[in-house]
Structure 1
Amino acid sequence: MTENADILCIGSVLWDVIGRCDTPMRQGSDMPGRITRLPGGVALNIAMALKRFGLAPALLSAVGRDTEGDELIAACQARGLGTDLIYRSDDLPTDQYMAVEASNGLIAAIADAHSLEAAGDKILRPLGDTPYTGAVALDGNLTVDLLARVARSPLLAQADLRVAPASPGKALRLAPFLETGRGTLYVNLEEAGLLCQTHFDSSDAAARALLARGAARAVVTDGGNPATVAGAQGVVTQTPPAVAVTRVTGAGDTFMAAHIAAERRGLTDDAALSDALAAAALYVSGETKI
């Protein structure tokens, strides 16, 4: 199943429809800009970034057997990503994500990942019955029940499990990973607060609180403010490079992929965090190609 893959990316694979405006916007604004459609979804964004960082990812997800799905699979293959393990549904449409961005950040977004949720455990069938010991990047677009099963599954007990919630609205879906003490959690400050049912003023405080609530390891970001990695080896906090922001959708996924790739190369906590923050800064500045 995975002989040609360095890491399995499990979660959303969909089309990103992004409207971007070069000036500030507020609720109700009607502004000129550009609208693009690109392959996206948390798992796919992470996989594309991992590929750029020299790894060979394989995707586990659900994609409709429709025109949009065929185009999406072709786009993934053109980017060198493994698609043979993707569940193709005859009766579920290909998922999509729509966002509006401006110079002052993300204005609004809607994620339609209902087909992935409806597919359920069908996307995990390629794992079979043999425990997997490699690396896994998992996103929170799976159902609550399925995420809980993954957190407790003996098939992934020995995997290098990296988990992201996909959005603040889905942060609480990661609670099973606190309860089981499995995996490295990648969250922003808001998501950390939701998981801990409180408010944090810094990534350092948030990361330490996640450990106290049972997380094996936590990586907490806060936009242009300091980010923190906390685990059994200690706590490391760094400030991201200052850059002009030209895009935000996919920045967290780029950060996560860069951090995974850096640690797979054997870098220390400090060096890996520095690499990941630099990669995310290049991405939001528009200097990294998608």
Structure 2
Amino acid sequence: MTAHDPDILCIGSVLWDVIGRCPDPMVPGNDKPGRISRVPGGVALNIAMTLAGLGLRPALLSVVGRDAEGAELAQQCRQLGLDTTHLTFADDLPTDRYMAIEAPGGLVAAIADAHSLEAAGIRILAPLIDGPLGTVDRPYTGLIALDGNLTEGLLSDIAAHPAFAQADLRIAPASPGKATRLQAFLRAGRGTLYVNLEEACLLCAEPFTNAAQAAAALVAQGAVRAVVTHGGNTCCDTCAHQTVTRTPPAVTVTRITGAGDTFMAAHIAAERAGHDRPEALRRALDAAATYVSGDVSQ
């Protein structure tokens, strides 16, 4: 590796987050005043932005449209210190978007339009399969943060592909609705899974009541390691030889979207900096708590 090589590859969704936040409780059908923001988002991009803020050099492998929204998004990524050298610009696809409504009780509703990422498919992986980052004969050996917004078929290919065989895979499902897409990694015995309790229940098809149960079951079903969060309740990081648990700091939640991505990125950064598993988990939970309690008035 050279001084210019990325510290980690972030593979998955790079899009615009359109987030509406209301200061009052909401139920379906409500029409209330609030604030709407448009910011760079997507699981892979959220992870990359947090990693960059912690001093790492992440590179993005994803797709944006060759349109005004894509150009603006790529420019903002570069300004945030992210490597867009390997980002795919598609003439035939628009830039993806995510829309969510949040209230004090949490997420009211969300729609993820990641159809361009799904349509681009294996195109976004070319730099790793037959390119400057690696090949089948010389696989990439570093860290990869991978999100479940890719299609189930492509995720299954990655789980078995020789170009990924030596990478340190850190995998997130993107949302509960896409959690079962990660079953290929359980079958292949690959990667560290970062999931919340609901996602773990869906992946294992079991009704767990706490993170420790869920993490143990994920490892039993094939995960090399599982890190399971449960909101403000105890979080668990487990593998075959060690289990670590910790309770997050108690905070007032003001935003939800991106919290899990912040947790995952902070955990990866802490381990890369040499911290042991208990300290890495503490730092990740502190980072997520700071994020969800942050000022979103602007």
The TM tier, using the shorter chain, reads over 0.9
Segments ≥4 residues shifted beyond 2 Å: 1-4, 287-290
| Matched letter for residue 205 of structure 1 | Q
Q: How many residues align?
A: 290
What is the CA RMSD across the aligned residues, in angstroms?
1.5
Q: Deviations over 1:120-141 (max 9, x none)?
A: 0000001122300000000001
Q: Secondary structure at the match of 1:249?
A: coil
Q: List runs of 5+ in structure 1 lacking aligned partners.
A: none
2:284 & 2:297 partners in 1: Cα distance?
A: 16
* Deviation, structure 1 residue 266: 1.3
Residues 142-161 of structure 1: pairs in structure 2 closer than 5 A: 142-161=150-169
**Contact 2:69-2:95 at 8 Å conserved across structures:** yes
2:216 & 2:240 partners in 1: Cα distance?
A: 11
1:144 & 1:231 partners in 2: Cα distance?
A: 24
Q: Which moved more, 1:67-76 or 1:279-288?
A: 279-288
Q: What residue is the counterpart of 1:168 in the other structure?
A: 176
| Matched letter for residue 289 of structure 2 | A
2:246 & 2:283 partners in 1: Cα distance?
A: 11
State yes or no: 1:186 paired with 2:194.
yes
State yes or no: 1:106 paired with 2:114.
no
**Contact 2:20-2:37 at 8 Å conserved across structures:** yes
* Deviation, structure 1 residue 289: 12
Residues 65-214 of structure 1: pairs in structure 2 closer than 5 A: 65-127=66-128, 128=130, 129=135, 130-214=138-222
Q: Sequence identity, in percent?
A: 66
Q: Secondary structure at the match of 1:118?
A: helix
Q: Taking structure 1 as the reference length, what is the TM-score of the superposition?
A: 0.98
**Contact 2:255-2:296 at 8 Å conserved across structures:** no
Q: Deviations over 1:255-288 (max 9, x none)?
A: 0000000010111111100000000000000159
**Contact 1:282-1:288 at 8 Å conserved across structures:** no
Q: Taking structure 2 as the reference length, what is the TM-score of the superposition?
A: 0.95
Question: Would the alpha carbon gap of residues 149 and 271 (structure 1) be closer, same or farther in structure 2, given more than 3 Å must change?
Answer: same
1:186 & 1:141 partners in 2: Cα distance?
A: 14
Q: What residue is the counterpart of 2:10 in the other structure?
A: 9
